[in-house]
A and B are shown apart, each in its own frame.
Chain A
Amino acid sequence: GAVVSQHPSWVICKSGTSVKIECRSLDFQATTMFWYRQFPKQSLMLMATSNEGSKATYEQGVEKDKFLINHASLTLSTLTVTSAHPEDSSFYICSARSQYQETQYFGPGTRLLVL
């Protein structure tokens, strides 16, 4: 149980385009979802926390207009990287937790490459 999926797993796009990444909890209701960014051989950087039906809470230094997060249902959250630039290239990982779980479960990640 406690499976989290992400789509797509890989995306390559041109600079200036927007990219949407989906995160789904497949067998539980995710009242809270987290979005992380990870650079090579580095730790996770929390970008934002979202609770279902509420606006996301962004970490300091993360542009909310650049990284749009929607958590419209208990099984789906999306991260949209708007007007992507090469410096946005990274590994993006979502994580989900229900109100009944202590543990947060992670998706497999999405590798974004902006040319």
Chain B
Amino acid sequence: AQSVAQPEDQVNVAEGNPLTVKCTYSVSGNPYLFWYVQYPNRGLQFLLKYITGDNLVKGSYGFEAEFNKSQTSFHLKKPSALVSDSALYFCAVRVNSNTNAGKSTFGDGTTLTVKP
């Protein structure tokens, strides 16, 4: 079984400050890890992923995430938040397998609000 936890329903930061959105996971085997962002009344947009290699992954819009195997975490970060980053963020995990089969498990989402 696989699972994802996003422990914070809501994260509030001031514009220009660094932001972190937390994600921890549980999976049997090596994980594929993903972050998506959702703006109101829209589908999810892919931000970044960890498959293998460097633990620090850089993605779209200046976001990055660090894969920490010992802590089973994949927190999303950005050095300087923008008001336009305000949205709903989802973390997802899937087992890394040769067949590339299987479905991803999504966290419950974290609403990020960046205030000017």
A interface list, Cβ under 8 A from B: 2, 4, 6, 32, 34, 41-44, 46, 49, 91, 93, 95, 99-109, 111
Closest residue on chain B to residue A38 by CB atoms = B38
The answer to whether B43 and A109 have CB atoms under 8 Å apart is yes
The answer to whether A109 and B46 have CB atoms under 8 Å apart is no
Contacts of B42 in A (CB 8 A): 108-109
The answer to whether A44 and B106 have CB atoms under 8 Å apart is yes
Question: Given known contacts A99-B100, A103-B49, is B43 in contact with A108 (CB within 8 Å)?
Answer: yes
The answer to whether B106 and A103 have CB atoms under 8 Å apart is no
| Residue from the list B32, B46, B51, B111 in contact with A105, Cβ < 8 A | B46
Question: Given known contacts A93-B43, A106-B43, A107-B43, is B103 in contact with A46 (CB within 8 Å)?
Answer: yes
Question: Given known contacts A43-B90, A43-B108, is B103 in contact with A6 (CB within 8 Å)?
Answer: no
Contacts of B46 in A (CB 8 A): 2, 103, 105-106
